[in-house]
Amino acid sequence: MIEIANVTKVFGQGEAAFRALDGVSVTIDENEFFTLLGPSGCGKTTLLRTIAGFVDPTSGSVKLDGQSLLESPPYKRPVNTVFQSYALFPHMTVAQNIGFGLEMQGKPKSEVQETVAEMLELVRMTPMADRQTGQISGGQQQRVALARALAPRPKVLLLDEPLSALDFKLRKEMQLELKRLQSETGITFIFVTHDQEEALTMSDRIAVMSEGAIRQIGGPRDIYDHPAERFVADFIGDTNFLEVELLRTEGEEGRIRLASGAETTARALSGGVSAGTVTLAVRPEHADLADPAEALLPGTLAEVVYFGTDTHYHVDLEDGTRFVVRQQNTPAQVQRRAAGDRVGVTFAPGVGQVLRD
């Protein structure tokens, strides 16, 4: 549905110039929940605002259904935006807020009423229809903002970190609500966030951004389990990085030698990494503690951090590297470990990922 080709945006001139977007190219499908994920300042909101029409790119093209959007002002684009600040009208009721955009478009009163009723039902706010927006909670205000944006039935809905103002539990609930709304309406959602868990929970595909460029695009599982480079592996979830020697590669698997001298296999990027010293990424939940004499990497337990659902074991390896092992807590678990214990770290062949730096 959306084709973004070689989009660059430079703010300012001369020495003060800042390249917010650097040759970004991506296609977004119809009826897709697509997330732009990255740290603050990576360019994700600039890209979203370029699609909306609030930012004009320095170069490149943005097309919707094959037609350029760049000549159309924001109000003529079949695109709506939900911002961090919901910007609801405090002097209007919930229903009036939802119907405001339709009224501005000159829609018949009967059509406005029918659509408002439909949107209220969609976001589960029908009992609140006659309340002022100041009389409802933050989560309910967010639902009203979504309903208002969905009422004109845009082809694309842009969401700029709309959950950031909500508390933890409510954010969790609204993540599932957003995915449900996208599925039920069939509208393409483009979601901006710096929260990795939000992206993994809701998205069909994720574009990880850094310094104005897209570093990797893929489904949540692909991005998490098969990061293409160190930045992606480091930004998405918790990761252990080890310096290892890549002995050889065969297809998508490589033979590696660890600092301890032990050898195992890991996933390797086809054609992307040469033999020699490389970085290996291992997720904490993919490793286990073991007897140091039998482990791949012996070390000393430095810290034990209890999280309720799981426990994190921080191990200082013999080469000085800190390695974290995450183990799920179970009622039958009786083993107790303490800081200072000699332990070892082990992980199954093939679970690690050899990275491009």
Does the pLDDT of residue 341 top 70, yes or no?
yes
Q: Look over the chain and give the mean of its residue pLDDT values, rounded to a whole number.
A: 90
Is 178 in contact with 35 (CB distance < 8 Å)?
Answer: no
Task: Say which range, 50-59, 98-107, 119-128, 325-334, has the weakest mean pLDDT.
Answer: 325-334
Mean pLDDT of 221-241: 92
For residues 178 and 163, what is the distance between their CA atoms, to the nearest angstrom?
A: 10
Beta-strand runs (E) in the chain: 2-11, 18-28, 33-37, 59-64, 67-68, 79-82, 156-160, 188-193, 205-210, 213-218, 240-250, 253-257, 263-267, 276-282, 287-290, 297-306, 310-317, 322-328, 342-347, 353-355
Using alpha carbons, select from 102, 122, 120 the residue that is nearest to residue 112: 102
For residues 100 and 88, what is the distance between their CA atoms, to the nearest angstrom?
A: 10
Q: Phi and psi for 102 in degrees, rounded to 5?
A: -65, -40
pTM for the full predicted model = 0.88
